[in-house]
Chains A and B, each alone.
Chain A
Amino acid sequence: MAALLRRLGWLTGRVVRLVRETPRSRTIGLIVPGWPGHHPGQHVDLRLPGAERSYAIASAPEDRYLELTVARVAGGEVSGYLVDDLREGDRLELRGPLGADFRWDATSGGPLLLIAAGPGIAPLRSMLRHHRAIESEVPVRLLYSVPDALALPYPEEIMRFATSDQVDVNLTYTRRAPARWNGYRRRIDAPMLAEVSWPPAEHPVTYVCGPTTFVDTAAALLVAAGHDPDGIHAERFGGGR
């Protein structure tokens, strides 16, 4: 019975680092005494007065701080506070790590297919950082959709991932591409996924994260292209609030 009665306790994290990523988003670095560690892809519940929200962990297990990249959503009081008002030294109540399906580590295998839109990159950044930290030989393909260059978080880090022999990075700009951009400049579609994805016969382990409509579209396209639905791990943001 002991396992059944276990509670997931709340911990107090101290904000030690704040990094502006895009006009809408910020990465919050925390020191959390008692933090048990996490698997890349997992998330935390954050508790503020009168509100609870889930945020993906953007850091790797090997990193010094627990990092959350939070994007402001329209009318979102919690995300607005976290992105604009939180200060270094502030404390946040959180619990986790949570999530048993949307997580990757060396034992999950590959090849790895990572697909994200907007802030959905956060848990995939944790996977990519971990992949580099353990010098994994698993080949990775990333397809990342953003409106424009201004909305691209961690641009230098993403370019650094791309210098690895194991990691193939593909960006698509859906609103405005940078000057002299010769990559994709449209929303994801079947031809794009066919070019970027591993063939279904290679049984990729796939993670898709982003707004619900994006995730549903990507997952449906993958299944229509012959990918095994069981190999597709998805995380949907929903519609704000």
Chain B
Amino acid sequence: MTGWDGNAVAGLLYDLFGQEMTGVGATCAHCGRRSLLARTRVFRGPGTVLLCPACGGSMLVVCVRDGIACVDAPGFATLAVPLREPVSLRPVGDQSRPRTA
């Protein structure tokens, strides 16, 4: 079952990383192109696979079973995860006060 994009797995990515991730950029280990996770292509079968929108290479594979997520990341050369307030709680473009607590 293919045809979705990374927007559809925002909730799953939130479970894995503890924050909104679709606005985060990842560099594909296969072709070197950088894409927002929102713009990856998503295949859903027994697990969920995120594919590079440029080359179709597999970037992230997630299988959830019995409350455990098995994560395989064959396709991230880099993934820039911001360590601050979850994106979804901040107004777009709001540069004020990175969280300190």
- The interface of chain A, by Cβ under 8 A from chain B, is 2-8, 36, 39, 42-43, 45, 52, 54, 95-105, 107-108, 212, 233-239, 241
Please, which residues of chain B bring their CB within 8 A of the CB of A54?
Answer: 7-8, 10-11
Q: Is the CB of A108 within 8 A of B3?
A: no
Which B8-27 residues sit within 8 Å CB-CB of chain A? 8, 10-11, 14-15, 17-24
Q: Is the CB of B14 within 8 A of A8?
A: yes
Q: Is the CB of B1 within 8 A of A39?
A: no
Please, which residues of chain A bring their CB within 8 A of the CB of B94?
Answer: 107
Please, which residues of chain A bring their CB within 8 A of the CB of B36?
Answer: 101
Minimal Cβ-Cβ distance residue in B for A44: B11
Query: Of the candidates B7, B21, B24, B83, which one forms a contact with A102 in the assembled complex, judged by CB atoms under 8 Å apart?
Result: B7
**A3/B84 contact (C-beta < 8 A), A102-B7, A239-B3 known:** yes
**A3/B85 contact (C-beta < 8 A), A101-B39, A236-B4 known:** yes
**A97/B88 contact (C-beta < 8 A), A45-B11, A212-B3 known:** yes
Query: Of the candidates A4, A7, A104, A238, which one forms a contact with B2 in the assembled complex, judged by CB atoms under 8 Å apart?
Result: A238
Q: Is the CB of B38 within 8 A of A99?
A: yes
In the assembly, what is the distance between CA of A192 and CA of B36, in Å? Answer: 29
Q: Does B99 contact A (CB under 8 A)?
A: yes
Q: Does B46 contact A (CB under 8 A)?
A: no
Query: Of the candidates A5, A97, A236, which one forms a contact with B18 in the assembled complex, judged by CB atoms under 8 Å apart?
Result: A5
Q: Is the CB of A98 within 8 A of B10?
A: yes
**A7/B18 contact (C-beta < 8 A), A107-B92, A212-B3 known:** yes
**A212/B39 contact (C-beta < 8 A), A3-B99, A4-B19 known:** no
Please, which residues of chain A bring their CB within 8 A of the CB of B39?
Answer: 101, 234
19 CB-based A-B contacts, threshold 8 Å: A4-B17, A6-B86, A36-B89, A43-B7, A54-B7, A54-B11, A99-B20, A100-B10, A100-B22, A100-B87, A100-B88, A101-B6, A101-B36, A108-B93, A212-B4, A235-B7, A236-B7, A239-B1, A241-B1
Task: For residue B68, give the distance in angstroms from its CB to the closest CB of chain A.
Answer: 15
Please, which residues of chain A bring their CB within 8 A of the CB of B5?
Answer: 234-236
Task: For residue A25, give the distance in angstroms from its CB to the closest CB of chain B.
Answer: 19
Q: Which of B8, B23, B101 lies at the interface centre, i.e. has the most chain A CB atoms within 10 A of its CB?
A: B8
Q: Is the CB of A98 within 8 A of B3?
A: no
Closest 6 CB pairs between A and B?
Answer: A100-B23, A101-B38, A107-B93, A238-B3, A98-B10, A238-B4
Q: Which of A99, A100, A235 lies at the interface centre, i.e. has the most chain B CB atoms within 10 A of its CB?
A: A100
In the assembly, what is the distance between CA of A235 and CA of B89, in Å? Answer: 21
Minimal Cβ-Cβ distance residue in B for A108: B92
**A105/B84 contact (C-beta < 8 A), A236-B5, A238-B4, A241-B1 known:** no
In the assembly, what is the distance between CA of A42 and CA of B23, in Å? Answer: 12
Q: Is the CB of B10 within 8 A of A3?
A: no
Q: Does B91 contact A (CB under 8 A)?
A: yes
Please, which residues of chain A bring their CB within 8 A of the CB of B22?
Answer: 98-102
Please, which residues of chain B bring their CB within 8 A of the CB of A236?
Answer: 3-5, 7-8
Minimal Cβ-Cβ distance residue in A for B88: A97
Please, which residues of chain B bring their CB within 8 A of the CB of A5?
Answer: 18
